[in-house]
Amino acid sequence: MSTNHNNVIIEIRAGAGGDEAALFAANLHRMYSRFAEKQGWKTKILDSSSSSLHGFKEIVFQMSGEDVYDKLKQEGGVHRVQRIPDTEKNGRIHTSTATVAVLPQVEQKEIEIKPSDLRIDTYRASGPGGQYVNKTESAIRITHIPTGFAVASQNERSQGANRENAMSILRSRLYAFKMEREMKKLGQERNLQIGTADRSEKIRTYNFPQDRITDHRIKKEWHNIERILDGDLWPVIKKFQNQ
């Protein structure tokens, strides 16, 4: 089964840590978006759920550009942050997490989805999208009954565009699910980076008090967190390519 290595869908979800985890999810989204800008890649938000304090409980976005999947596939897994939140009055360091999944975008002909396997619900969109977005039931939620996967899209004004986005997310998830099952059958290690990776695997820690990022898989460290979170991901990606 072939995939388009120039298109990916990235899903970021806040994990443990409440508002701080949602803020960290927003930091990760900005990091990948800024990196994409530097590469001349295009990004498009497919779905998002905001938290208070301008964080994201969840954000799903498409990224397209040359070799984008090959450059970002190692980002899948649990990212952990250790820092003192702005709301912390006693100066205590909090630990929060966010999960990242990097899914190659799959063409319609490559994954067969039976219409009878789908439950499609419409609802009114909320959050960003301007004044037009709330007037009609333009948001779409699609549930794939055999697997239980549920995907949504609410960032476009039209129901048709949101449906297209949601189906694109669903195809990528089903592809990753199929690949993961095939790798298990072949007896490969569970944490091999295929599509969704092992989401329970803690892959990286961002330690703000020590200004250090540690990748636990390749046992490497980088300093200057702020620069990396501003999109300077090349040093990290280069280490993986050298491995």
Percent of the chain at pLDDT above 70? 86
Can you give the pLDDT at residue 189? 44
Domain co-membership, 130 together with 216: no
Dist. CA 155–CA 206, nearest whole Å: 30
Domain co-membership, 203 together with 97: yes
Q: What's the domain count of the chain? A: 2
Q: How far is CA 141 from CA 58, 123, 171, in A?
A: 15, 8, 14
Domain co-membership, 172 together with 196: no
Q: Is the pLDDT of residue 115 over 80?
A: yes
More confident residue, 137 or 8: 8
Q: Is the pLDDT of residue 111 over 90?
A: no
Domain co-membership, 27 together with 92: yes
Q: What is the mean pLDDT of residues 77-87?
A: 89
- Give the pLDDT confidence of 188-236 residue by residue, as tens digits: 544 444 333 344 568 999 999 999 999 998 999 999 999 999 999 999 9
Domain co-membership, 86 together with 8: yes
Residue with tokens 């939620």: 141
Which range of residues forms the domain containing residue 82? 4-106+191-242
**CATH assignment of the domain containing 167:** 3.30.160.20
Tokens found for residue 136: 């009609």
Mean pLDDT of the chain: 84
The amino acid that residue 122 corresponds to is: T
Domain co-membership, 95 together with 175: no
Domain co-membership, 10 together with 68: yes
Domain co-membership, 13 together with 94: yes
**CATH assignment of the domain containing 10:** 3.30.70.1660
Domain co-membership, 91 together with 195: yes
Domain co-membership, 202 together with 100: yes
